[in-house]
Amino acid sequence: MGQRTPLYDLHLALGAKMVDFGGWDMPLHYGSQVEEHHQVRRDCGVFDVSHMTVIDVTGLQAREWLQHLLANDVDRLHGCGRALYSAMLNEQGGVVDDMIVYRTQAGYRLVFNAATRDQDLAWMRAQLGDYQVQLHERAELAMLAIQGPHARQRIAELVTQSRSTLIHQLKPFEGQADGDWFIARTGYTGEDGLEIVLPAEQAPGFFNDLVGAGISPIGLGARDTLRLEAGMNLYGQDIHQDVSPLAANMAWSIAWEPAERDFIGRAALEAELAAGVQFKLVGLVLEERGVLRAHQVVRIANVGEGEITSGSFSPTLSKSIALARVPTATADRAEVEIRGKWYPVRVVKPTFVRHGKTLI
């Protein structure tokens, strides 16, 4: 038996198929995974993401420590409430994890993956050294993600006036506290929406309010196809400790300035750039019937080979799509080996759908 979120019994009552995910018992789907996917693209749905790890970073040197720890620069967070996406790298430039960092009144809030909790906390503690920094894991909190084009409007109608006002005021990549709730305009689906961190004991009641108002619960299956369509990396598949952000479509999240900021992994990334980055992350589209899956071989004529990191049928596009790491010289055509046969695929930018719009 895995760990359970505060909503476990509600998932069972709603008929969820439960699966193990990073040591947690989580809902894969409540019925049709494809319909759940469409529900988020067309309207909105609610995800239980209480398995995610929330760490509050405080102390006199919290800023300086995070500037050393992360590839992105928390000095870009101009004022309380702003958020950014960053990788946390090892000395070799590999991705220890990726996360969202929020600037808060007390310091910073980090939200990162569930399956990597132990390795992340061990790594972070190992980097503390003499920094005057405190790490406070917020295991007493739950987290719900309400995602979709109508998510903010639907939620604003169900919460207090002050929270409704905050929801309407939040810009993308902002998060603010209202009482014991933390409400952020962030997500992992490629749609607008909210991620709400709240006391665990309040989560079942709020989740029931959402479902009672007609907001569909969405499982991890649709969460995966939504993030794949949006071109968002999944840790352990598209990124891991042996992959550089330069080979994972994450170069935009590296803050090179100021030049004197010596973040962990910087020297390795600079050496990789100087030598020439060998691989890149691209999108693949299979025009024929079939399904693209992780670890299938990608062959590029006169260039070399790569590998699919994530692949699935895309409900929005009605085609099979994938993210793949391929040689940097790869152009717009390749082949993928499926069950011993080679199929032609189109090579595209690794973002297929954003805000309901097809980008390929």
Closest CA to 352 of 302, 283, 296: 283
From residue 81, alpha-carbon distances to 37, 190, 324 in Å are: 30, 21, 34
156's CB contacts (< 8 A; 6+ apart) are 163, 164, 167, 168
Using DSSP, state whether 307 is helix, strand or coil: strand
279's CB contacts (< 8 A; 6+ apart) are 247, 306, 325, 326, 327, 328
Q: Which two tokens stand for residue 12?
A: 């069972």
Beta-carbon count within 10 A of 256 CB: 14
Let me know: does 73 contact 261? Beta carbons within 8 Å.
yes
Find out whether 335 is annotated in a ligand binding site: no
C-alpha 70/C-alpha 87 separation (Å) is: 6
Closest CA to 50 of 201, 232, 244: 201
In the block, residue with structure tokens 């990124």: 239
Q: Which residues are annotated as a binding site?
A: 195
Q: Which residues are annotated as a binding site for substrate?
A: 195
